[in-house]
Amino acid sequence: MSTAAQPDPTRFILIGTSHPGNVGAAARAMKVMGFSELVLVRPRFADVLVQEDTVAMASGAADILVRARIVDSLAEALDGVTCAIGTAMTPRDFGPPTITPREGLGELARTHAAAGHKVGFVFGSERHGMANEDVYRCHALISIPTHPGYGSLNLSQAVQVLAYEWRMALGGFPVTARTPDADLAGGEAVQGMLTHLEQALVQLGFLDPAAPKKLMPRLNQLFNRAELRQEDIHILRGIAKAILERTAR
C-alpha cells in the first residue's frame, strides 16, 4: 500500500518555540517524511514563519510554513486531535503512560491512524520543555531511547526522529534504487573470458599449459562468487588482450 496516497493523519505541535531556525528545520523534517500539518503555540516571535532563518532552515519546505498556523493555546492546537503524544518526562506525581517510538507508535498506527483518527505530536520549548498542565492534556508521552549519559536532542532533531519512526509505523515509503539493476554476465561470457585470460597467462609464463593444476578452475570459482557484470567481462578481456599484445612483441 502506498502511504503517499493516504490522508495525513498527523499534526506536529510546537509550544513556545524560541529559535526561528528550529521551526524551519522542523518543517523540513516533517516534509521529508511526508507530513504537512504544523501548528505553533505562542512562539517567541509572532512573525517566525516568515523570518529569514526559518525559511533558510526549511530548505524547500516553505509550503509547510505557508500552511502552518499560530494559536494562543495548546487546547486550540489540539482541536480535532484524538490522540495527543507529548515529548516530555512524566511528572513525578502522576501523568500519562510513557511509550517508546518503535513499539508505541506501531500500536498507535494500528489503533488510531488506521481508523482515520488525527494524532498530534506535542513538543515543548527548547529551554523549558512542556509545562505539566500541557503534559496532562496528552494521552501518552514518548521517550526517545538516547544514550543514558547524554540524552539532549535539539528540537528539530526530535521532530525528525519521531517523524521517521511514525512514518515507518504507518508503512514507510518504497526505496527507489539510484542505479540500474546489475547486468550480470552469462555463463558463456564468463567462459569466453576465462579462455582469453588463460591464453594471456600462458603467454605471460604464469601458467604452464603442460601442468596447469587447478588454477583455471579456481579462477572460475572466484569469478562465479564475484557475480561478474558485462562491464567486468569487458575489463578482464581488455587486460587479457593487453597482455597478449605486449608479450607478443
Q: How do residues 96-118 score in pLDDT, each as one tens digit?
A: 999 999 999 999 999 887 788 89
**Mean pLDDT, the chain, as a whole number?**
91
Task: Compare 184 and 69 and report the one with higher pLDDT.
Answer: 69
Check pLDDT > 80 for residue 7: no
Name the E strands within 74-227: 83-87, 98-99, 119-123, 140-142
What pLDDT score does 210 carry?
87
Nearest to 62 by CA among 72, 51, 71, 70: 51
Check pLDDT > 60 for residue 202: yes
Check pLDDT > 60 for residue 2: no
Check pLDDT > 60 for residue 3: no
Sign of the Cα torsion 121, 125, 127, 132 reads negative
Sign of the Cα torsion 137, 140, 142, 143 reads positive
Q: Where are the alpha helices (DSSP H) in the chain?
A: 20-32, 52-58, 62-67, 74-77, 101-111, 132-135, 155-170, 187-204, 215-226, 230-247
Arithmetic mean of pLDDT, 131-145: 93
What confidence tier does 128 reach under pLDDT thresholds 50, 70, 90?
confident
What is the rounded distance in angstroms from the CA atom of residue 4 to the CA atom of residue 34? Answer: 7
Three cell numbers, residue 13: 505541535
Arithmetic mean of pLDDT, 137-159: 91
What pLDDT score does 109 carry?
92
8 A C-beta contact, residue 20 and residue 55: no
Arithmetic mean of pLDDT, 24-49: 96
What pLDDT score does 1 carry?
39
Percent of the chain topping pLDDT 70: 95
Check pLDDT > 60 for residue 4: no
Arithmetic mean of pLDDT, 167-180: 85
Task: Compare 191 and 176 and report the one with higher pLDDT.
Answer: 191
103 burial (CB, 10 Å; 0-12 / 13-18 / 19+) is exposed
Torsion angle defined by CA atoms of residues 103, 122, 27 and 117, in that order, rounded to the nearest 10 degrees: 70
What pLDDT score does 12 carry?
98
Helix (H/G/I), strand (E/B), else coil: 11: strand
Check pLDDT > 50 for residue 179: yes
What pLDDT score does 160 carry?
97
What pLDDT score does 167 carry?
95
What pLDDT score does 88 carry?
82
Three cell numbers, residue 101: 517510538
